[in-house]
Amino acid sequence: MDVKLYKKTGVDLSFTAPPSKSYSHRALICAALADGPSEILSPLFSDDISITCRGLSALGVELSRSDGSILVEGTGGVFPDMGEVTIDCGNSGTSLRFLTTLSLLSPSDVLLTGSRRMMERPIGGLADAIMQSGGVIRYFGEEGCPPLRISGEFIGGKVVVDASKSSQFISSLMLCGPYSDIPLEIMPKGSVASRSYIDITADVMKSFGADVVLNTDGCWEIKQGTYSSGKYHVEGDYSSASYLFATAAVCGGSVTVNNLNPASVQGDFRFLEALLCMGCSISYGESSVRVVSEGILKGIEIDMSSCPDVVQTLAAVCVFAKTRSIISGISHLKYKESDRIDAVRRMVEGCGAGFEEAGDDTIIITPGDLHGFELHPEDDHRTAMSGAVIGLGTGDVTIKDAECVSKSYPGFWDDLMEAGLLEEWF
């Protein structure tokens, strides 16, 4: 499916944020390990979450979908022997990384594979940490990338993790930490990409009863124990909401997004701080956020290392600023569903703004004579939705293969259509 966006001005809209993809993934892993049945309330139903569910099923976890929830029969950390297991994770890096450590708790040998792009995405930092803790890893392609076979055991102890390319390496270990043979200590080696997502992991684990401690030396300590089963409600997603907030910024007017936790630990919450610095006003309700803009934006200089999933959204807003913007801390975007630094370049240059790379982790966006263009998102959901933001500000933007948004926000185009922002698809 292709969609075409036309310029909109003076919007006054209200949306409901979809459930958080990050929280949904983590809740499913915790529920699968818990003692007894759990119900995940209001989870995200998307391509990525379906992949995680299929992976858990392949490991012997019983799951069923009810109206607005997922029922998970916890294993207590004891998985059945399923023989040799192969799990195709498609283009879901989160699924593959979380299932990597989880596979150590299974008596089965597990082969994890995925899409062509997945074969280029790094897993070595996590695999090296697993091998420090009793795991056995065999690669079947490029060293440090999927596909890989996991066997061995999860002893625990102190492991050193290079998480400079993804904080999910740490999160994967943390989620399984209560079930290691001895207490697990995770020591990051150097800088940690997207550190705020570790906070989400700890938040979910604590909700399921885990004892998680961040020591003063920066080491995560996971006490042995078990997760408690029960009901878990998934909060709304700030990264998905960013495209809706950005619509207010570039079109002028107001957008209210409901189903959001104003006290959330989601790092993508910081996108609102960026909009505030660019000239928007922000107000908070009990479970909603409202962004108001006069459509006059100024450039920004900001480090986005803690919230990479909204970099493309911010870049889409920056092309409408009157002055240049400098976005830093983004080197790890090269290892996402696509090379997202190059994706930003294609978007920014495509609409007529200026783009420049300054080293490995910084881009500069400068004003230009904006116009419509055709965007190929290369199967990256965030590129497609960020392109829609530009289209609503400039008009005449066609997004090819737009169905890729199903990875994280399946109802995105429907929400735009219902709001009167999308009129043409083919």
Q: Any known ligand binding at 48?
A: no
Is 116 annotated for ligand binding? no
Confirm or deny that 254 is annotated as ligand binding. no
Query: How many Å apart are CA 358 and CA 80, to the nearest integer?
Result: 51
Is 336 marked as a binding-site residue?
yes
From 47, 309, 380, 415, active-site residue:
309
Q: What are the E-state strand segments in 2-98?
A: 3-5, 11-16, 37-41, 62-66, 69-73, 85-88
Task: Provide DSSP, 286-316.
Answer: SSEEEEEE-S-----EEE-TT-GGGHHHHHH
For the chain, how far is it from start to end, CA to CA, in angstroms? Answer: 6
309 is catalytic: yes
| Residue 46 marked in a binding site | no
* CA–CA separation, 95 and 337 (whole Å): 13
- Asked whether residue 93 is marked as a ligand-binding residue, the answer is yes
Annotated ligand binding at 166? The verdict is yes
Residue 4, token pair as written in the block: 């075409």
Within 10 A of 2 (CB to CB), how many other CB atoms are there? 14
**What residues contact 210, with CB distance under 8 A and at least 6 apart?**
30, 177, 178, 222, 223, 225, 227
* Phi, psi values for residue 371, rounded to 5°: -155, 170
Instruction: Answer yes or no: is 92 a known binding residue.
Output: no
21 annotated ligand-binding residue: yes
Q: Does 270 show up as a binding residue in the annotation?
A: no
- 106 labelled binding-site residue: no
168 is an annotated ligand-binding site residue: yes
| Among 317, 322, 325, CA closest to 298 | 322
Establish whether 132 is an annotated binding residue.
no
Catalytic residues, by residue number, are 309
Q: Per the annotation, where are the binding residues?
A: 21-22, 26, 93, 121, 166-168, 194, 309, 336, 340, 382, 407
**Which residues are documented as binding site for phosphoenolpyruvate?**
21, 93, 121, 168, 340, 382, 407
